[in-house]
A and B are shown apart, each in its own frame.
Chain A
Amino acid sequence: MHAETTATERKAAALAAFKDLARDPGVPKPDPILVVDNVVRRFGGLTAVEVEHVEVQRGSITALIGPNGAGKTTFFNQLTGFDTADSGQWTFNGRSMNGVPAHKVARAGMVRTFQLTKALSKLTVLENMRLGAQGQKGESFWRALLPAFWKGQEDAITERADELLTRFKLDAKRGDFAGSLSGGQRKLLEMARALMVEPELVMLDEPMAGVNPALTQSLLGHVKDLREQGMTVLFVEHDMDMVRDISDWVIVMAQGHVIAEGPPETIMSDERVIDAYLGAHHDAPLSESELEEQLHEAEAALEAEIEEETQK
């Protein structure tokens, strides 16, 4: 892989930062970009997220893993302003972000993708890309009426979009409706579109879900690329092979809590993690809340499938 060789330096730097860290949940990092304290989210009687403290190291690729219903996506939603946390605070680059609406979170440099890709089907691939650019003059109502105000900026945006499309091998599709892309291409488009925002922290929610194996390698390469370009990546993933392959640090969630942290090579041998993945299912009968969690997860998965079906 071409990205492998060029990325070694950054990877080494990232790994060095993690070298002497303890494996405890909430361990302080040398240079955190995101610091989270006591974030709680309840749905009725069910506590979906209860994270006491967690930090994400700048310039690293951090994986967020956990069994089904651990609250990973809900946690993502809290951090990015898509859902309101019941309590808690978190800072991004030292700036307090709780209660900040989603669009301002994105403007601050914290951009997310979704588990179910949200390609804007009736817009072309290029329009999807252009939408990501920030500070567009033509997005204000009055200036939009006079093309002279925004034509120049639009050309610059288009140029940048075309570069990114070429990098993500979507340049041949630039004039097609996004709805005509395959599932994997949509994932690529969504990632490329997120980059148009020029974020510092990219948050990917299951970037590999539903992508065919041929495209996975290229997607992995792109994720590594992000770190190479100085961005920080936080991603949710199920597949441990991929986590091992690309992440520098792993945070494990179970039942809404962060239960362990550590480097990808050793994290799966951590007892707490094994308990979370296996113990809960093998030793004890499912509690009611877990059952409900699983139900919700199953619902989400089903809905995902249906959505995929109907989008065709």
Chain B
Amino acid sequence: MDWITIISTTVKAAIGVETVWYALAAIGINIHFGYTGLLNFGQSAFLAVAGYGLAVTVTVLGLPFWVGIGVGLLSAVLLALLLGIPTLRLRADYLAIVTIAAAEIVRLVFRSVAFKDVFGGSDGRRGFSDGFYAMNPFSPGTYGFGWLSFNERVLWVLVVGWALVALSCLIVFLLMKSPWGRVLKAIREDEDAVRALGKNVFSYKMQSLILGGVIGCLGGFIYGLAYASVQPDIFGTETTFFAYTIVILGGAARVFGPVVGSMIFWVLLVLVNGVLSGAVESGLITFMDSTQVGPFRYLLVGLGLILLLVYRPQGVFGDKREMAIDAR
């Protein structure tokens, strides 16, 4: 087995593009679910509208990069309003079903043949990231040392991505120790009590939905820019569910929970993939072939999510007393 490759890909995964965009999606979910108790199962739709907002503005309309970013952010806000107005008065389980349905609608529309001229069907859109890489301050070359090195494009994406993660964490930190955050946490515990104390619960839920959606949508930008393309099926329900796994793994309602969770999640996925693939290739494992390694690690994700909620619902670093979900 090629341990050097396994270790290097694993270490890269800890700070890699996947970790970044999943962390951003998960920070958004943490605001919705961890702090406010909103069961938004449609997070992938926020990433999708942002990515496509950028892509379509630049490629189809031929407008500059920053206009695309603006359109993407605006789309996320609009989506939050559209989702929130009918659903935020409903019970948690209804909210879950409606948001997942809405995310599926978004995905199906993006991949439909009927709108292929705009959204590019199941192939998606590409060729909108030039404006982003034109701003790259790193000159072409390889940065890093030995096996831990990136080219200038990846480095630029990572720098911007981690800056966004840091900024998002700072915002969450400031908000959650403010009276505003206190209202959110109180809504999570019992919204009737909050209403009885004169707070407009609907408005706070909406603000939470918008904030989490906008932070999540940054993940859509990062994905689109890193791979210079967006495809509809990247933004399926499983993306949302993996982001939930990440939030719970790192600990819900903790500022750095989603970031740590995303790092652990991708390190484990990449490590398991590397070790199993290596073992299959070198004949150590015979009951699996190399095509089954991919599905097998996602099977482990499912199993991990079950075990986490049963045995450590507070997450890896969480404190049981402060646990935000009603797992008891």
The answer, yes or no, to whether B197 is at the interface (CB within 8 Å) is yes
A150 and B178 contacting across the interface, CB-CB below 8 Å: yes
A114 and B175 contacting across the interface, CB-CB below 8 Å: no
| Min CB–CB distance B204 → chain A (angstroms) | 8
Over the window 62-100 of chain B, the binary record of Cβ atoms lying under 8 Å from chain A Cβ atoms (1 yes, 0 no) is 000000000000000000000000000000000000000
Stretch at the interface among B7-15, B118-126, B185-193: B185-193
CA distance A193 to B186 in the complex (A): 13
CA distance A189 to B174 in the complex (A): 27
Given contacts A82-B195, A118-B192, contact A144 B179 (CB under 8 A): yes
A139 and B180 contacting across the interface, CB-CB below 8 Å: yes
Stretch at the interface among A47-55, A125-133, A261-269, A281-289: A125-133
B193 contact from A104, A120, A141, A145, Cβ within 8 A = A120
- Of listed A119, A130, A139, residue having the most chain B CB within 10 A: A139
B195 contact from A103, A127, A134, A145, Cβ within 8 A = A103
The answer, yes or no, to whether B171 is at the interface (CB within 8 Å) is yes
A197 and B182 contacting across the interface, CB-CB below 8 Å: no
CA distance A154 to B193 in the complex (A): 21
B179 and A193 contacting across the interface, CB-CB below 8 Å: no
Stretch at the interface among A29-37, A105-113, A241-249: A105-113
The answer, yes or no, to whether A177 is at the interface (CB within 8 Å) is yes
A131 and B192 contacting across the interface, CB-CB below 8 Å: no
- Of listed B174, B179, B322, B324, residue having the most chain A CB within 10 A: B179
A138 and B179 contacting across the interface, CB-CB below 8 Å: yes
Over the window 254-287 of chain B, the binary record of Cβ atoms lying under 8 Å from chain A Cβ atoms (1 yes, 0 no) is 0000000000000000000000000000000000
Over the window 175-213 of chain B, the binary record of Cβ atoms lying under 8 Å from chain A Cβ atoms (1 yes, 0 no) is 100111111011011101111111111000001000100
B180 and A138 contacting across the interface, CB-CB below 8 Å: yes
The answer, yes or no, to whether A102 is at the interface (CB within 8 Å) is yes
| Min CB–CB distance B103 → chain A (angstroms) | 25
A window 262-312: CB within 8 A of B: 310
Minimal Cβ-Cβ distance residue in B for A109: B198
A123 and B198 contacting across the interface, CB-CB below 8 Å: no
Minimal Cβ-Cβ distance residue in B for A203: B196
- B194 neighbours in A (Cβ, 8 Å): 131
B182 and A130 contacting across the interface, CB-CB below 8 Å: yes
Over the window 214-243 of chain B, the binary record of Cβ atoms lying under 8 Å from chain A Cβ atoms (1 yes, 0 no) is 000000000000000000000000000000
CA distance A123 to B101 in the complex (A): 33
The answer, yes or no, to whether A95 is at the interface (CB within 8 Å) is no
| Min CB–CB distance A180 → chain B (angstroms) | 8
Q: How many residues of B contact A (CB 8 A)?
A: 31
- A93 neighbours in B (Cβ, 8 Å): none
Minimal Cβ-Cβ distance residue in B for A142: B180
CA distance A177 to B192 in the complex (A): 19
CA distance A77 to B183 in the complex (A): 22
CA distance A78 to B321 in the complex (A): 36
Minimal Cβ-Cβ distance residue in A for B195: A102
B322 and A122 contacting across the interface, CB-CB below 8 Å: yes
Over the window 293-325 of chain B, the binary record of Cβ atoms lying under 8 Å from chain A Cβ atoms (1 yes, 0 no) is 000000000000000000000000000011110
A107 contact from B181, B185, B198, B322, Cβ within 8 A = B198
| Min CB–CB distance B32 → chain A (angstroms) | 15
Over the window 83-108 of chain A, the binary record of Cβ atoms lying under 8 Å from chain B Cβ atoms (1 yes, 0 no) is 00000000000000000011110110
Given contacts A122-B324, A123-B189, contact A106 B196 (CB under 8 A): yes
A131 and B196 contacting across the interface, CB-CB below 8 Å: no
- A81 neighbours in B (Cβ, 8 Å): 195
- Of listed A103, A104, A111, residue having the most chain B CB within 10 A: A103
| Min CB–CB distance A148 → chain B (angstroms) | 11
Minimal Cβ-Cβ distance residue in B for A179: B321
The answer, yes or no, to whether A80 is at the interface (CB within 8 Å) is yes
CA distance A165 to B174 in the complex (A): 27
| Min CB–CB distance A140 → chain B (angstroms) | 7
The answer, yes or no, to whether A136 is at the interface (CB within 8 Å) is yes
B189 and A122 contacting across the interface, CB-CB below 8 Å: yes
B197 contact from A106, A138, A144, Cβ within 8 A = A106
B192 and A82 contacting across the interface, CB-CB below 8 Å: yes
B196 and A140 contacting across the interface, CB-CB below 8 Å: no
The answer, yes or no, to whether A121 is at the interface (CB within 8 Å) is yes
The answer, yes or no, to whether A147 is at the interface (CB within 8 Å) is yes
- Chain B interface (Cβ < 8 Å from any Cβ of A): 171, 174-175, 178-183, 185-186, 188-190, 192-201, 207, 211, 321-324, 328
Shortest beta-carbon contacts, A-B, top 9: A138-B179, A144-B180, A118-B193, A106-B198, A144-B178, A120-B189, A102-B195, A107-B198, A118-B190
Can you list 29 contacts pairing A with B, beta carbon distance less than 8 Å?
A82-B196, A101-B195, A103-B199, A111-B198, A119-B193, A120-B193, A122-B185, A122-B322, A122-B323, A123-B185, A128-B186, A130-B182, A131-B186, A132-B197, A134-B198, A136-B179, A137-B179, A138-B180, A139-B199, A141-B175, A141-B207, A141-B211, A144-B174, A145-B174, A146-B174, A147-B174, A150-B179, A193-B197, A197-B197
- Chain A interface (Cβ < 8 Å from any Cβ of B): 80-82, 101-104, 106-107, 111-114, 118-123, 127-128, 130-132, 134, 136-141, 144-147, 150, 154, 177, 190, 193-194, 196-197, 310
